[in-house]
Chain A
Amino acid sequence: MTIEPRIRPFGERGLLVELGETFDERAIERARRVADAWERLHVGAAVPAYASVVLGFAADLLTPEEAERRASEIIASTADARSVGAAADEQPADRRTVEIPTRYDGPDLADVATRSGLSVDEVVALHTGRTYTAYFLGFQPGFAYCGRLDPRIVAPRLDRPRERVPAGGVAVADGQTGIYPFASPGGWRLIGSTDLVMFDASADEPSRLRAGDRVRFVPR
């Protein structure tokens, strides 16, 4: 569902731009475009997510009113769906494909299969059979929200998040899949694991995945 974009104050140094209210690939793409355009102004950082972008600005560079005006201009410039894919950095050739070697040994795999009315092998085949898009990163350094999961895989978030998910956990939840870069509490369902290092602070580009990447899970 498309709504009219809204700009809301987020403290005195930020704005929240809402581009929609649902999980929708077009809104994700537009959020990324708005964030890129904002960062080109060099007034502060931007954080895109599913259907929103947070725009930060330093008080000595912009007033809130100026920030809202610049945000409105950027939103208007990204309104045309055709312009969305037209920017130079959005050419398909620039999109990398990252393979994630995965052992399908997660503690929730059997439960996900049961909920989905599928066999374990069928869940694995559906999970490995798609190329996903890394929508945006958040939650942890290097954690990419990837989608879209085959709708036949039924995996709501856990009612009670686990206190500790191991690093490298491959998980699914609500139409998405992702890899936990670090051990942490987590509410997604674990179907597998990988030894791939997803975030390495000593690397030039520390995160294995960046927004826009294509992602494939390869069974091991």
Chain B
Amino acid sequence: MSPSAASEAVYNSPNYLNAEAGIRSWLTTRDHKRIAVMYLGLVVAAFALGGFFALLIRVELLTPGPTIMDAMTYNRMFTLHGVIMIFLFMIPAIPGVFGNFFLPLMLGAQDVAFPRINLFTVYLYLIGAAIAVWGMIQGGTDTGWTFYTPYSTTTVTTVAPVLLGAFILGMSSILTGVNFIVTIHTLRAPGLTWMRLPLFVWAIYATSIIQVLATPVLGMTLLLVAVEKAFGFGIFDPARGGDPILFQHLFWFYSHPAVYIMVLPAMAVVSEVVQAFARKNIFGYKAVAFSSLGIAFVGFFVWGHHLFTSGQSTFASGIFGVLSMFVGIFTAIKVFNWTATLYKGAIHVAAPFVYFLGFLYFLMFGGLTGIALSTVSLDVHWQDTYFVVAHFHFIMVGATIMAFLAGLHYWWPKMFGRMYSERWALAAAVLVILGFNATFIPQFLLGNMGMPRRYYSYPEQFWPLNVASTAGASLLAFGFLIVLIYLVTSLVNGKVAGPNPWGSRGYEWNTPSPPNVLNFPETPVITRGAHEYQDPPAEATHAH
């Protein structure tokens, strides 16, 4: 960790945050670290907006009948919530923020392969978000984020701008994926073999493959819906010979792998956090690394499990159901390895570790309900109920948010050079985890009782559990608010973190906090894997 004599000068040189001043220097930057910070601001804003709509939905569902809005507004609200959370937060969050910031640092590289394209993805994100949000204000899409035809092509609300926005956001996601794959292939420092790569890099690599290979399919499909809506070409319209089920196939061919675009980066973060806070090398490095690729691969062959009740043949449903369970195998491999990493580790219970535990819980709970849902005979009963809503919120929201917060707390001192209040962080972590459970466990029960998703009103028997869910959502929102407050204030009055406050052996901690504009004064030569805690701490990973 101690800087070498050669890099001493650079330690005194300006860090990436104050190297250049002014908005303009940020808007034209090609520094992956500044781009990551811009992504952080954008995705947190999107999360706040999506969360606000979620709260409005929960308030509306507080009573069985109309509460604060009419049915059409309600439909628009859950569409806004879904579109914003998925396309503007979940998909870009971890790759955009932590991928951008730490991929080059973990590879011993000065930047990603295509820094200009990297900046371009931020602008694509902004343009896509602006068009989508504008469309929502103008007409307010009421189709849900899935845009199912023929409803989406016949609804009176405006759909095209939201589709176009999602298409542009998809381009942003594709270019990020291309950039990361090329970076990992071409910019590894000398000595950094594939088997020495941090597990974060492996999982981001797997994510990028899905981003590149699945997103174009969604983009084209959404454009077809927009064309259909605008011109009535009949491509998904049964009245003109079109097949609405074809849309569902094309949509889920992307949108199921997209779940892994959200969860694999979460696994990436967690693989780093567990090693740093157990002070122990990962158990089963290769198994964790390759299971990421396994999930990415199998993820392309499971989309049919969204179509169990669409008239798909029982045989096809059976195949898709079994293939879906394979995802469970790869996920279980990871869970067992993370758990085994804890065994005989020197565990340091800090906020990131608490979020790691929360992650394991949500991943397991969400994953096991996923196995249940992939069983065709059970799914037929749960299809389009709150059980499905609770399931995917547990696995793709719960797990991803836990990992996002774990990463944010773990890397916050590296990114901004300041420590946050540990006491507040632990309190907020408990609130968030409890709030999440209180929101969605009632929804599991509601779904099992038969309450359909996306309904505006419901029979009185569902009332108590809906009240419980809304109460949980408020607790959750309160928890997030606390996180926001102590993190922002830590920028001003937080304790100076120093280069490595956690004593982590990840490659990225061999830089000052915050890192310099130029990541490394000289190209590092890697002589061992990341997180090798068996060696004495004085051993630096840089060869000089």
Do these two chains interact?
Answer: no
Residues of chain B having any CB pair with chain A under 8 Å:
none
